[in-house]
């Protein structure tokens, strides 16, 4: 790429790495909406494959997923496994904005149980957005459990990991656990939209100013959570006996519990480790 990279080191302090790259400017008539972001061919590192019969045909519901293009967009169901309540609200709202149905669960065990229950009810999920770090059962173990399930509609569900780390070892770990693909946080709205639409065999849905809309949605949810937390804090302070008559009602700021990372799922800046999405069926 004809760039430059150099280091400046100071004993006892550390090393600073610099690099410089030159890129051509985009044409003036190019807009974000006109950029096509798609998932690519199967990831050669993914080792999980559906069971096949003697003729090589899959015996899991992945054979049904080939017909997902025939399923109306508003009937496709996405399971969201995410333990952070703010991220969870944002993911549900964004998926709804894309025209899909979703249900959210706070840990891997809840997600696995939900997959099994909905399958028995005849309303199986078509895809799982699986956070990697969760309590009770993390994303890796939840995926391994799903891939061993006897119910074909559970075992063959598409699983996309959402991980804050995308170094090679973690990437391999996601794929070896049985996930079809992964997204490195912070995930850009356009990348998530493209991956969901391609995996679910849906034509692209035009959403003007997608990233701006996603950022506004995230900001609104975070503000609502902050207001609710502050309201709860006021109520607690009002009902708590004061140590003295001169004490006043105080509101403890709770904003420190809500950081930018909570809505990184829809952040418009790519992660420094972000890898282009590769499609694996």
Residue 62 tokens, joined? 């992945």
pLDDT at 178 over 70: yes
Q: Which pLDDT does position 242 carry in this prediction?
A: 52
For the CA atoms of 226, 77, 176, 152, the dihedral, rounded to the nearest 10 degrees, stands at 140
Point out the least confidently predicted range of 4-13, 186-195, 245-254.
245-254
Q: Counting every residue, how long is the chain?
A: 281
184 three-class SS: strand
Residue 39: band (very low, low, confident or very high) from pLDDT cuts 50, 70, 90? very low
pLDDT at 189 over 80: yes
Point out the least confidently predicted range of 29-43, 55-69, 262-276.
262-276
The residue-averaged pLDDT of 36-47 equals 43
For residue range 105-151, what is the model confidence (pLDDT) as tens digits? 999 999 999 999 999 999 999 999 999 999 999 999 999 999 999 99
Say if residues 202 and 73 touch (Cβ distance below 8 Å).
yes
Which phi and psi (to 5°) does residue 228 adopt?
-65, -40
- Per-domain residue ranges of the chain: 38-44+57-223+260-281
Residue 88 tokens, joined? 């969870």
Residue 185: band (very low, low, confident or very high) from pLDDT cuts 50, 70, 90? confident
The residue-averaged pLDDT of 14-38 equals 72
Distance between CA 46 and CA 181 in Å, rounded? 8
Q: Which pLDDT does position 38 carry in this prediction?
A: 45
Q: Which pLDDT does position 31 carry in this prediction?
A: 56
Q: Which residues pair with 17 in a beta bridge?
A: 7
Point out the least confidently predicted range of 164-168, 211-215, 240-244, 246-250.
246-250
Pick the CATH number of 38-44+57-223+260-281 from 3.40.30.10, 3.40.50.80, 3.40.50.2300, 3.30.930.10: 3.40.50.2300
**Of 169, 170, 96, 167, which is closest to residue 133 (Cα–Cα)?**
170
Distance between CA 266 and CA 191 in Å, rounded? 10
Q: Average pLDDT over the chain, rounded to whole?
A: 76
Q: Report the range out of 144-153, 204-213, 265-274 with the highest average pLDDT.
A: 144-153
Q: Which pLDDT does position 207 carry in this prediction?
A: 87
Q: Report the range out of 78-82, 86-90, 246-250 with the highest average pLDDT.
A: 78-82
**Of 181, 189, 191, which is closest to residue 91 (Cα–Cα)?**
189
The residue-averaged pLDDT of 243-260 equals 36
Residue 248: band (very low, low, confident or very high) from pLDDT cuts 50, 70, 90? very low
């Amino acid at each position: 790429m004809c760039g430059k990279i150099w280091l400046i080191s100071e004993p006892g302090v550390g090393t600073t790495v610099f690099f410089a790259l030159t890129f051509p400017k985009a044409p003036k008539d190019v807009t974000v909406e006109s950029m096509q972001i798609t998932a690519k061919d199967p990831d050669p590192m993914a080792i999980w494959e559906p069971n096949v019969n003697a003729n090589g045909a899959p015996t899991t519901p992945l054979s049904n997923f080939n017909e997902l293009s025939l399923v109306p967009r508003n009937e496709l169901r996405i399971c969201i496994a995410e333990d952070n309540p703010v991220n969870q609200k944002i993911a549900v709202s964004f998926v709804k904005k894309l025209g899909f149905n979703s249900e959210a669960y706070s840990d891997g065990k809840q997600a696995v149980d939900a997959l099994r229950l909905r399958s028995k009810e005849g309303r199986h999920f078509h895809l799982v957005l699986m956070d990697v770090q969760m309590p009770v059962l993390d994303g890796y173990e939840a995926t391994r459990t799903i891939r061993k399930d006897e119910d074909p509609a559970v075992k063959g569900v598409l699983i996309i990991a959402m991980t804050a780390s995308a170094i090679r070892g973690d990437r391999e770990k996601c794929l070896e656990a049985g996930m079809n693909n992964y997204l490195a946080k912070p995930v850009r709205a356009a990348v998530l939209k493209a991956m969901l639409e391609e995996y679910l065999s849906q034509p692209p849905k035009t959403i003007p100013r997608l990233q701006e809309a996603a950022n506004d949605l995230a900001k609104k949810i975070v503000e609502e959570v902050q207001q609710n937390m502050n309201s709860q804090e006021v109520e607690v302070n009002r009902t708590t006996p004061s140590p003295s008559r001169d004490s006043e009602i105080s509101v403890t700021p709770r904003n420190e519990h809500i950081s930018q990372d909570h809505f990184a799922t829809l952040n418009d800046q790519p992660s420094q480790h972000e890898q282009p999405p590769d499609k694996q069926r």
